Copies of this chain bind each other. A is one copy, B any other.
């Protein structure tokens, strides 16, 4: 993957935001990036570290998780291409949980210093990056509701709907079909249930003809039904940029 394409992944993500200027695009293109490959399960940044770089997922999947006892792992969130899993470290230096590769992944790293220089020149981009961290926060809050209020089948259904929506937004889901390199144990740790029970839940979802799910390949057969089971409402993902253009740009400069 040549450098030009790397930047375009970031630009593409940020320009979903209607207000990105030519100047902003140019500044993004100037950020120096280094590409890294990570193997399945490999740690990218560990809890407690204060990295001097941020990473951008280019290909594959990344997860953020907290592992106290080896047998008690909570996956906080999954990250898909275009996501910035540890962007918050720019402002809150110490990382609270570990970021690891789920399956093999390709990740671009860029130094905090370069970002800060970019932000100093463009309040517009500052706001866009701030926004990215807030969408990540909104996803975490929705997960709180998912774990606190829903039963096992709803949790899994909700997670599926979310991944479908997010992958669809970056062009990685077609016809409600997508591919995530997770095991049932990963799903279990994300949903706070046991692997055995995940298995039974998946069978129940298959049995009700809501999804096809063989290994890493997932196909949603009935999105409406699945959304209902998981009480899924995509608002919290903030995939459309409602309301942002109401702000006069003068306030951003």
Q: Which of these, B92, B94, B126, B147, contacts A144 with CB under 8 Å? A: B147
Among A112-120, A166-174, A202-210, which stretch is in contact with chain B?
A112-120
Chain B proximity of A40: nearest CB distance (Å): 22
Q: Which of these, B88, B242, B246, contacts A134 with CB under 8 Å? A: B88
Contact-residue bracket for chain A: 35 or more
A184 close to B (CB within 8 Å): no
A137 close to B (CB within 8 Å): yes
A148 close to B (CB within 8 Å): yes
Instruction: Tell me if A148 and B251 are in contact (CB < 8 A).
Output: no
Chain B neighbourhood of A147, CB < 8 A:
144, 147-148, 192
Q: Which of these, B72, B94, B127, B137, contacts A235 with CB under 8 Å? A: B94
A21 close to B (CB within 8 Å): no
Chain B proximity of A153: nearest CB distance (Å): 15
Instruction: Tell me if B76 and A144 are in contact (CB < 8 A).
Output: yes
Task: Scan A106-131; emit 1 where CB is below 8 A from any B CB, else 0.
Answer: 00000001001101100100110011
Q: Of residues 54 to 99 in A, which have CB atoms within 8 Å of B's CB atoms?
A: 64, 66, 68, 72-74, 76-77, 88, 91-94, 96-97
Instruction: Tell me if A68 and B140 are in contact (CB < 8 A).
Output: no
Q: Mark A residues whose CB is within 8 Å of B.
A: 48, 50, 64, 66, 68, 72-74, 76-77, 88, 91-94, 96-97, 113, 116-117, 119-120, 123, 126-127, 130-131, 133-138, 140-145, 147-149, 189-192, 231, 235-236, 238, 242-244, 246-247, 251-253
Q: Which of these, B91, B117, B238, B246, contacts A92 with CB under 8 Å? A: B238
Chain B neighbourhood of A135, CB < 8 A:
92
Q: Which of these, B74, B116, B123, contacts A149 with CB under 8 Å? A: B74
Instruction: Tell me if B96 and A141 are in contact (CB < 8 A).
Output: yes
Chain B proximity of A1: nearest CB distance (Å): 29
Instruction: Tell me if A94 and B242 are in contact (CB < 8 A).
Output: yes
Chain B neighbourhood of A116, CB < 8 A:
247, 251-252
Distance in angstroms between the alpha carbons of A64 and B148 in the assembled complex = 14
